[in-house]
Amino acid sequence: MNEKQRLESQNVQTENPADKKSEKDYSKYFQGVYVPPSLQDAKKRGKEEVQYHKDFAIPDEFRGMGEGRKFLIRTYGCQMNEHDTEVMAGIFMALGYTHTENVEDANVILLNTCAIRENAENKVFGELGHLKALKREKPDLLLGVCGCMSQEESVVNRILQKHPFVDMIFGTHNIHRLPNLLNEAYLSKEMVIEVWSKEGDVIENLPKVRKGNTKAWVNIMYGCDKFCTYCIVPYTRGKERSRRLEDIIQEVRHLAAQGYKEVTLLGQNVNAYGKDLENIKYGLGDLMEEISKIDIPRIRFTTSHPRDFDDHLIEILAKGGNLMDHIHLPVQSGSTDVLKIMARKYSREQYLELVSKIKTAIPNVSLTTDIIVGYPNETDEQFEETMSLYREVGFDTAYTYIYSPREGTPAAKMEDNVPMEVKKERLQRLNSLVNEMSAQKMLALQGQIVEVLVEGESKKNPDVLAGYTTKNKLVNFRGPKSVIGQIVKVKITDAKTWSLNGEMVTEAESVEVI
């Protein structure tokens, strides 16, 4: 059997797709033949029970589809997307594809996109512009768009009209359908579009190829029901669905057995963990307590919503051990009035009370946050409240953003009287404060001995090693390559705004570790 016959026997198309493109007829997409994604439908929260599927398998007819072919996935956005990319890489490998980072070598390129702000979307459209030329040179290259942007009808329409050379579009709920979608894309003369506006079930046992062998992401829940007025995530990621405790425990145990040193439990709103599980009274605190019993040195979680951060979780985190002393707790604004318009469902005072409880229970805790400036009609006074809250909490660092209207969200319909120059100026002032306080926190570590999980060579200098402290601070130091993947003690000699330099210390030299 020659290569062409082999591929044809697997239903894999062998004709040159360059030919098919010229025949493409897009009219059917605009006559309602395919079901376009709908943010209105994505907003609905049904009562139907989520099904748990543990029987995922690569269909036999697709095995070998990727032989002789290479895939590349470009990932934009958050850790959830990073982890979805690991799942898609797992599926590609199970289909027989090999991985490449070189666009020239790739036979399939996927853009795993982020919809959170306009500039995230612009990056993807810019990349599509670059890839157009490559696609012209290599017509049999398969080009796909997936992730959060695919869930938006306006994006799908724009791709259909302006980037018709794209071969496939799929969303966040049907990643497990990748083998079928690839197969369809090889066979079809049309752009393959499959986006589900209603969230899917929870699919267990998906293959994964993790990026490193020291740190791992573990999903504990999907979706978000909070509907903050600015945020597109509840629409692109669907309703809250928790994974079952036993499946999470099994995954973390497996990672520990494979030698991973750190897991980060992932969800858009991890504090809502368990709320959707019928007849089970389990929250994030209970889950963390169970996971802390597993023999793995470091456990983290992200992202927290202050509203659901309960006392039981604080009590469990205060036990320390393998539960890290760093909490990312997005506040978004320091003004109660703005928080109300954002529908965050807590006030400035309630946030500060939560912080005070956390600090009492975990005195040395490191807190980081997310902040949006320039919300529609945000006044100077309201912005000053954000500045004062930042100082009062004493955050270690923050991700700061100018508000970006997202079509379909309530905030996008609000009138906004804040000029862009004012928004930019506020961001600049906030960033100066963030830098100043980060530098202060770093300086406080000078002379201290910290524990560092060594990840590898520093990006800037291969003779230097780099890793992270329990509080997630980057440390660069000289040491033998043999400690990569290990936790070592490092004395901090030099503090910078965003990183620390240090010297590795032996057991005998270490007196007090923080």
CB of 224 to ligand SF4, least distance (A): 8
CA pair distance 510, 54, nearest whole angstrom = 47
Q: Amino acid letter at 60?
A: D
Q: How far is CA 146 from the centre of its chain?
A: 14
Strand partners, 98: 70
**Residue 372 interface partner, choices ligand 5AD, ligand SF4, none, CB cut-off 5-8 Å depending on type:** ligand 5AD
E runs forming strands in 93-250:
98-99, 108-113, 142-147, 168-170, 192-194, 202-203, 215-219, 221-222, 241-242
CA pair distance 200, 329, nearest whole angstrom = 28
Q: Can you tell me which of 12, 65, 78, 272 binds ligand SF4, judged by CB under 6 A? A: 78
CB of 403 to ligand SF4, least distance (A): 15
Identify residues 135-154 at the interface with ligand SF4 (CB under 6 A). 147-148
Quick one: which of 485, 481, 489 has its CA closest to 454? 485
What is the residue whose two structure tokens read 């791709």?
Answer: 159
Residue 370 engages ligand 5AD in binding (rule: CB under 6 A): yes
By beta-carbon proximity to ligand 5AD, the closer residue of 12 and 149 is: 149
By beta-carbon proximity to ligand 5AD, the closer residue of 299 and 372 is: 372
Among positive and negative, which fits the CA dihedral 377, 381, 385, 388? positive
**Cα dihedral 397→212→113→68 (10° resolution):** 160
Structure letter (DSSP) for residue 5: H
CB of 225 to ligand 5AD, least distance (A): 16
CB of 145 to ligand SF4, least distance (A): 13
Identify residues 220-279 at the interface with ligand 5AD (CB under 6 A). 230-231
Residue 291 engages ligand SF4 in binding (rule: CB under 6 A): no
**Residue 114 interface partner, choices ligand SF4, ligand 5AD, none, CB cut-off 5-8 Å depending on type:** ligand SF4
By beta-carbon proximity to ligand SF4, the closer residue of 172 and 322 is: 172
**Residue 401 interface partner, choices ligand 5AD, ligand SF4, none, CB cut-off 5-8 Å depending on type:** ligand 5AD
CA pair distance 346, 490, nearest whole angstrom = 40
Stretch that binds ligand SF4, among 61-69, 111-119, 284-292, 416-424 (CB under 6 A): 111-119
Q: Which residues make Cβ contacts (< 8 Å) with residue 9, sequence separation at least 6?
A: 1
Between the alpha carbon of residue 250 and those of residues 218, 222, 253, 322, the distances in Å are 11, 18, 5, 17
CB of 90 to ligand 5AD, least distance (A): 25
Residue 81 engages ligand SF4 in binding (rule: CB under 6 A): yes
Residue 148 engages ligand 5AD in binding (rule: CB under 6 A): no
Identify residues 403-432 at the interface with ligand 5AD (CB under 6 A). 403-404, 406
E runs forming strands in 270-350:
298-302, 326-328
Helix (H, G, I), strand (E, B) or coil at 373: strand
CA angle 48, 52, 53 (to 5 degrees): 130
Are 221 and 275 in contact by the 8 Å Cβ rule? The answer is no
CB of 233 to ligand SF4, least distance (A): 5
**Residue 305 interface partner, choices ligand 5AD, ligand SF4, none, CB cut-off 5-8 Å depending on type:** none
Burial, 257: exposed, middle or buried (Cβ in 10 Å; 0-12, 13-18, 19+)? exposed
By beta-carbon proximity to ligand SF4, the closer residue of 171 and 376 is: 171
Tell me the binding residues for [4Fe-4S] cluster. 78, 114, 148, 224, 228, 231
**Six token digits for residue 332:** 């978004």
Residue 116 engages ligand 5AD in binding (rule: CB under 6 A): yes
**Six token digits for residue 494:** 């030099």
Instruction: Answer left, alpha or beta for residue 408, where phi above 0 means left and psi between -120 and 50 means alpha.
Output: left
Stretch that binds ligand 5AD, among 29-37, 312-320, 401-409, 444-452 (CB under 6 A): 401-409
**Residue 117 interface partner, choices ligand 5AD, ligand SF4, none, CB cut-off 5-8 Å depending on type:** ligand 5AD
By beta-carbon proximity to ligand 5AD, the closer residue of 121 and 190 is: 121
Q: Other C-beta atoms within 10 Å of 418: how many?
A: 19
By beta-carbon proximity to ligand SF4, the closer residue of 39 and 450 is: 39
Question: Could you list the residues that contact ligand SF4 (CB under 6 A)?
Answer: 77-78, 80-81, 114-116, 147-148, 232-233, 236-237
Q: Which residues bind ligand 5AD (CB under 6 A)?
A: 116-117, 230-231, 330, 332, 370, 372, 401, 403-404, 406
